[in-house]
Structure 1
Amino acid sequence: MKIIIVGCGRNGSGLAQAMSKAGHSVTVIDSDPAAFQQLGKGFHGKTVEGIGFDKDVLQRAQIERTDALAAFTSSDESNAVIARIAKEIYHVPKVVARLYDREKAEIYKRLGVQTLSSTTWGIKRASDLLSYSSLNQVYSFGSGEAELVRVELPALLAGHRVNELTVVGDIHVVAIERDNKTLLPTTGTIFQKGDVVYIAATSASGGQLRKLLGKTW
């Protein structure tokens, strides 16, 4: 997976290191070349010096071939602009922006840009949002503390019951699409091959949900 991270501060550099260690191809953009020192010697990605919303800079970072972008500069305005450019001009599939202003965050979420506020920010949280390749976020509740995701049922779960994919207080199956119909399951409902499952989960339970689904990414 190819990822661009704009902003190499404490959080941006930490995210870059985490995603690089996970095996992703990471490119970091920052206007201050000295900031790249925070990446450390173990970072194996690329760095690009420049302003994150500059067209030439983004093209040097190969945004046209990027799977995900995270905008984490110290400026809400810059992050919002970078996110909109990535989403609307370059059609980057996954875009995350850190915005301190919650009102702005709500506006951009309605426009399809996933946002993180200073109160919900976390490297693990951003890593999950960028790398959930088989989980499609449908809706984010509050400031990102919980979300509704859509997933095509893994073949190995066919024949299992809904309660096997339930963690009280963290993970709940709320709906199943089957044969062009939608049903509200009980804990005893049995999954069938081809089901599309809608799951409400807390942001902290992402790793646990992946394990329950049998995912290793």
Structure 2
Amino acid sequence: MYIIIAGGGNSGEALAKTLVKEKEDVVLIESDKDKAEKLSEELDALIICGDSTNIDILKDAGISKADAVVAMTGDDKANLMICEIANQANVKRVLARINEPENEALFIQAGVESAISSTNSIVTDFKNVLRGKSSKTVATLAAGAIELIEIYIGDNSKIVGKTVSNVGIDKNVAKISSIERSGEIIIADDTRIINKGDILGVIAKSSSAKKIVEHFEKK
């Protein structure tokens, strides 16, 4: 893929390095001259020093042939502008980093395929470590108000043998959406019986996520 990354900060640099290792064709735009020079020495990628919100800079980066544009600057307004230019250029995939979670709706309205909150990502990583290995938050939605959680059902969980509709949770707070069993993904309907070893995909309000995980893991 031909991928343009706007913003050569820590996150942009890390993404660029990963994509270069995977043999993707990467162009990275960085406004700071010293940083751009440093990146050009370290990365096997085209580095352009300039303002990513400038349409001429994006044209120089090859936006007309880009398969994807990833806006990774530390300014949400700049990232939104970059995404709007990419959409106007009919780029197939437009992604953005969000620095302030409350701005997520703006990116969604702008038609951004995936808007990832750096704050929510960090919170999710720490939350997964604190919860342990039996459950993990896969994603956060609605500015962090909703979580998609994977919960491993151990041998002694009290919900083993029960149907999805009879696990004892308030459907206004959480809902089992899927079951992973022996490598197969099953869409969870109310009559599906939960077995030990299942991994449940659960959509839950973040305020209730901890209690939901504890309920499913409880013996």
Provide Cα deviations, 1:71-113, integer angstroms capped at 9, x if missing partner.
Answer: 11121110111111112x1111111111222222123124321
Query: TM-score, with normalisation over the residues of structure 1?
Result: 0.57
Q: Residue 101 in 1 paired to residue 119 in 2?
A: no
Tell me which amino acid in the other structure corresponds to 2:187: V
Tell me which amino acid in the other structure corresponds to 1:94: R
Match of 2:187 in 1: 174
Q: Which runs of 5+ in 1 are unaligned?
A: 126-138, 148-161, 167-171, 176-182, 188-199, 203-217
Q: Give the Cα separation in 2 of the matches to 1:201 and 1:117.
A: 21
Whether the 8 Å contact between 1:27 and 1:47 is mirrored in structure 2 is yes
Match of 2:210 in 1: none
Query: Residues 99 and 141 of structure 1: is their aligned pair in 2 closer, same or farther, counting only changes over 3 Å?
Result: closer
Match of 1:48 in 2: 48
Tell me which amino acid in the other structure corresponds to 1:100: N
Q: Residue 28 in 1 paired to residue 28 in 2?
A: yes
| Structure with greater Cα Rg | 2
- The match for 2:181 among 163, 169, 187 is 163
How many residue pairs get aligned? The number is: 151
Q: Give the Cα separation in 1 of the matches to 2:62 and 2:191.
A: 44
Q: Structure 1 vs Structure 2: percent identity of aligned residues?
A: 28
Moved more, 100-109 or 68-77: 100-109
Provide Cα deviations, 1:159-179, integer angstroms capped at 9, x if missing partner.
Answer: xxx73444xxxxx5438xxxx
Q: Which runs of 5+ in 2 are unaligned?
A: 126-138, 150-179, 194-200, 204-219
Whether the 8 Å contact between 2:19 and 2:26 is mirrored in structure 1 is yes
Query: TM-score, with normalisation over the residues of structure 2?
Result: 0.57
Q: Give the Cα separation in 1 of the matches to 2:140 and 2:62.
A: 29
Query: Residues 8 and 110 of structure 1: is their aligned pair in 2 closer, same or farther, counting only changes over 3 Å?
Result: same
Match of 2:117 in 1: 117
Pairwise CA distance, 1:37? 4.4
